[in-house]
Amino acid sequence: MSRDIQTVSVIGAGQMGNGIAHVFALAGINVRLYDIDSDTLKKAVQTIDTNLGRAVARGKITEHDQKRALTNIMTVDNLADTGPVDLVIEAVTEKERIKQAIFEDILLHVNDDTILTSNTSSISITRLASRTDRPERFMGLHFMNPVPIMQLVELIRGIATDEETFKSVAGVVDRIGKTYSTAEDFPAFIVNRILMPMINEAIYTLYEGVGNVQSIDTSLKLGANHPMGPLALADFIGLDTCLAIMNVLHDGLADTKYRPCPLLVKYVEAGWLGRKTSRGFYDYRGEVPRPTR
């Protein structure tokens, strides 16, 4: 028997977290949005308001929908205030030790029947769940970026996830108007298991001088009908995130085909992480993005 989820806490108000809060609030679900940084929380609410406003301008929702969604979001800066909800969605940075610390802390505040989920794009759900007191009520809930636009959500069961938990989470995904796919708990699941090696190979193609940034992205856009070239997509995702996922694949599957390209490592070491730092495979500091190689 599935559970009707009415209240949700989103842990982390960055790019993914504010998008997740957006879609749940728009679906009429009460959201508690937490971040350790108050400025990030303020920026998140502004971003949600702006994105809802764009949806109003396109005729996708009404102004009433926008106002109602905003009233469904409560920002909190104390982790204790996130606990008494039906569902927790962790959406912090893609570092396992940070995620583990969040779950260990939040266990002090959640209800006995609260479902815990992680928006991780690559880390073992079974391993994260094992650090909690409820591995049977823990699973992966992986949204795609940007959350309000992308239709897919990956649902990943850990080895102990029970059927009631899965049905409850699948039900709320239906309610927010998304489509889910189910993935087994292996490194990077489905989307990133396929996508990240393609991006990594594009970076190797650049590293080996087969083509420059512009030629590689143009080739995939026009030759494979991709909406965005792989290097531009890497910048959009964040090169640090791409590297983290490739390391999870390489460590978890022990196959040299997942070895991160040295050029990707170099860009991350330089702090050129893509759009969020204004430089990656493109330089975004001018009016028009310019390739950096």
Q: Which amino acid is at 33?
A: L
Residues 38, 93: one domain?
Answer: yes
Catalytic residue among 9, 119, 192, 200: 192
Any idea what the CATH number is for the domain that residue 222 is in?
1.10.1040.10
Residues 173, 204: one domain?
Answer: no
Any idea what the CATH number is for the domain that residue 89 is in?
3.40.50.720
Is residue 2 assigned to a domain? no
Residues 212, 152: one domain?
Answer: no
Catalytic residue among 124, 142, 168, 200: 142
Q: How many CB atoms lie within 10 A of CB 163?
A: 11
Quick check: is 121 catalytic? yes
Mapped onto helix, strand or coil, the DSSP state of residue 212 is coil
Strands 87-90 and 115-118, by their bridges, are: parallel
Is residue 188 assigned to a domain? no
What is the average pLDDT value for the chain, to the nearest integer? 96
* CA–CA separation, 262 and 210 (whole Å): 15
* CA–CA separation, 177 and 151 (whole Å): 8
Mapped onto helix, strand or coil, the DSSP state of residue 276 is helix
Closest CA to 158 of 192, 107, 120, 114: 120
Residues 104, 241: one domain?
Answer: no
Residues 144, 283: one domain?
Answer: no
Q: Which of 183, 212, 246 is the last residue of a domain?
A: 183
Residues 238, 134: one domain?
Answer: no
Is residue 60 assigned to a domain? yes
Strands 138-143 and 152-157, by their bridges, are: antiparallel
* CA–CA separation, 85 and 262 (whole Å): 44
Q: What is the pLDDT of residue 85?
A: 96
Q: Which of 150, 183, 216 is the last residue of a domain?
A: 183
Catalytic residue among 9, 18, 119, 121: 121
* CA–CA separation, 19 and 50 (whole Å): 12
Domain carrying residue 239: 193-291
Q: What is the pLDDT of residue 89?
A: 98
Give, as one character, the DSSP assignment of residue 209: T
Express each pLDDT in 73-94 by its tens digit.
999 999 999 989 999 999 998 8
* CA–CA separation, 259 and 116 (whole Å): 32
Q: Is 57 exposed, middle or buried (0-12, 13-18, 19+ CB in 10 A)?
A: exposed
Residues 117, 173: one domain?
Answer: yes
Number of domains in the chain: 2
Quick check: is 111 catalytic? no
Q: What is the pLDDT of residue 1?
A: 63
Report H helices in 208-238: 213-223, 230-237
Is residue 83 assigned to a domain? yes
Is residue 245 assigned to a domain? yes
Quick check: is 78 catalytic? no
Residues 154, 219: one domain?
Answer: no
Question: Which of the residues in the chain have pLDDT under 70?
Answer: 1
Q: What is the pLDDT of residue 83?
A: 87
Quick check: is 119 catalytic? no
Give, as one character, the DSSP assignment of residue 135: G
Residues 153, 56: one domain?
Answer: yes
Is residue 252 assigned to a domain? yes
Distances from the Cα of 272 to the Cα of 67, 132, 180, 264, angstroms? 37, 35, 33, 10
Is residue 223 assigned to a domain? yes
Catalytic residue among 119, 154, 168, 200: 154
Instruction: Say if residues 173 and 153 touch (Cβ distance below 8 Å).
Output: yes
Q: What is the pLDDT of residue 3?
A: 79
* CA–CA separation, 47 and 109 (whole Å): 28
Residues 41, 126: one domain?
Answer: yes
Residues 169, 103: one domain?
Answer: yes
Closest CA to 48 of 80, 10, 82: 10
Give the DSSP H or E segment for 127. Answer: helix 125-129
Is residue 1 assigned to a domain? no
Residues 247, 178: one domain?
Answer: no
Q: Which of 156, 183, 210 is the last residue of a domain?
A: 183
Closest CA to 284 of 231, 247, 248, 240: 231
